[in-house]
């Protein structure tokens, strides 16, 4: 497994396992299978409602804690955000059954972002969160956060897939010392990704599936990927992407698929800000 080094020296695997939209009752079994397949980076969130199941799988695995990289995320907190963010973190930690997380992300760029970030900085200083970062931040919001706070986010987890490649965003993050991490790497199958002619042709040339081609494309771009599956055979397939490499021509061909637009929603849309302002979770 290849690791990437974050801006504070913490290392994380470039390929992990995500549990978004996996029902809580299926999560423990899925994470157990993922760990058996070799995954050591696990990505969950308070908003997913499955932190406890992730924690049970970790405990039962017997894998030494230092071999695992566990990520969870802070949901939008009402004022006073600093106190509420710490309480939310403590609840996440209790649900996971851990004494620290390796990466703690601010899940959405809304609410009292700066109060939340100050709380996260303190958690980082105390060693409770080995690294802290954000998710779904567009470049203007990311740079503003960096300029007005002491700690630069280690990671920005954003929608990144062949149809929305975020190349310019990645270059800005690289210049600022922020690691890009992909969510939605398979675009949830939209735009017929799994049967796309170009991706299928490239896969055939390497004896690999479209999913493997997409993951390899992300890895060669130095993008951390966290694919999700509940099928052990698919987990193993997704993990088997370190024995081949895409050519420069193939990488260039995939670059032509970029539409420059989200296939889900735009966090800069005022309607989305309104929707998120009304959504709270018991965290």
Residue 181 zone, left/alpha/beta (φ > 0; ψ -120 to 50; rest)? beta
- Flag whether pLDDT at 78 surpasses 90: no
Q: Has residue 68 been placed in a domain?
A: yes
Per 3-state DSSP, what percentage of the chain is helix, strand, and coil (rounded to 5)?
A: 45, 15, 35
Q: Has residue 60 been placed in a domain?
A: yes
Q: Which domain holds residue 71?
A: 3-276
pLDDT digits (tens, 9 = 90+) for 252-265: 999 999 999 999 99
Supply φ then ψ for residue 161, to 5 degrees: -160, 175
Q: Has residue 282 been placed in a domain?
A: no
User: How many other C-beta atoms can be found within 10 angstroms of the C-beta atom of residue 212?
Assistant: 21
Strand order, beta sheet including 129-135: 17-18, 41-43, 69-74, 101-106, 129-135, 155-159, 179-183, 224-225
Residue 41, both tokens: 């980076």
What's the rounded mean pLDDT across residues 10-16? 98
Q: Has residue 44 been placed in a domain?
A: yes
CATH of the domain at 125: 3.20.20.100
Q: Which residues are catalytic?
A: 48
Distance, CA of 241 to CA of 185 (rounded, Å):
14
Q: Has residue 138 been placed in a domain?
A: yes
User: In this predicted model, which residue has the larger pLDDT, 78 or 168?
Assistant: 168
Distance, CA of 89 to CA of 73 (rounded, Å):
8
Q: What is the pLDDT of residue 221?
A: 98
Number of domains, the chain:
1
pLDDT digits (tens, 9 = 90+) for 83-135: 999 999 999 999 999 999 999 999 999 999 999 999 999 999 999 999 999 99
Q: Has residue 156 been placed in a domain?
A: yes
Q: Has residue 281 been placed in a domain?
A: no
Q: Has residue 283 been placed in a domain?
A: no
User: How many other C-beta atoms can be found within 10 angstroms of the C-beta atom of residue 177?
Assistant: 13
């Amino acid at each position: 497994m290849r690791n990437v080094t974050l801006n504070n020296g913490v290392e994380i695997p470039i390929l992990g396992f995500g549990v978004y939209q996996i029902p809580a009752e299926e999560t423990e079994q899925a994470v157990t299978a993922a760990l058996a397949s070799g995954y050591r980076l696990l990505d969950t969130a308070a908003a997913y409602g499955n932190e406890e199941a992730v924690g049970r799988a970790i405990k039962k695995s017997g894998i030494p804690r230092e071999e695992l990289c566990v990520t969870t995320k802070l949901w939008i907190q009402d004022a006073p955000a600093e106190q509420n963010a710490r309480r939310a973190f403590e609840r996440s930690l209790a649900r996971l059954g851990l004494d620290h997380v390796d990466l703690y992300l601010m899940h959405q760029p809304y609410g009292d972002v700066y109060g939340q970030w100050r709380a996260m900085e303190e958690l980082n200083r105390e060693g409770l969160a080995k690294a802290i970062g954000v998710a779904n931040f567009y470049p203007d919001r990311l740079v503003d956060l960096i300029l007005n706070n002491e700690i630069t986010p280690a990671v920005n987890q954003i929608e990144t897939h062949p149809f929305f490649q975020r190349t310019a965003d990645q270059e800005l993050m690289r210049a600022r010392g922020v690691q890009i991490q992909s969510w939605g790497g398979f675009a949830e199958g939209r735009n017929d990704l799994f049967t796309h002619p170009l991706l299928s042709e490239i896969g055939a040339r390497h004896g690999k599936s479209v999913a493997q081609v997409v993951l390899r494309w992300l890895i060669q771009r130095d993008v951390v990927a966290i694919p999700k599956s509940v099928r052990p055979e698919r987990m193993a397939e997704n993990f088997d992407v370190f024995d081949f490499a895409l050519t420069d021509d193939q990488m260039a061909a995939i670059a032509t698929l970029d539409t420059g637009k989200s296939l889900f929603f735009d966090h800069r849309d005022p309607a989305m800000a309104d929707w998120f302002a009304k959504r709270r979770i018991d965290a």
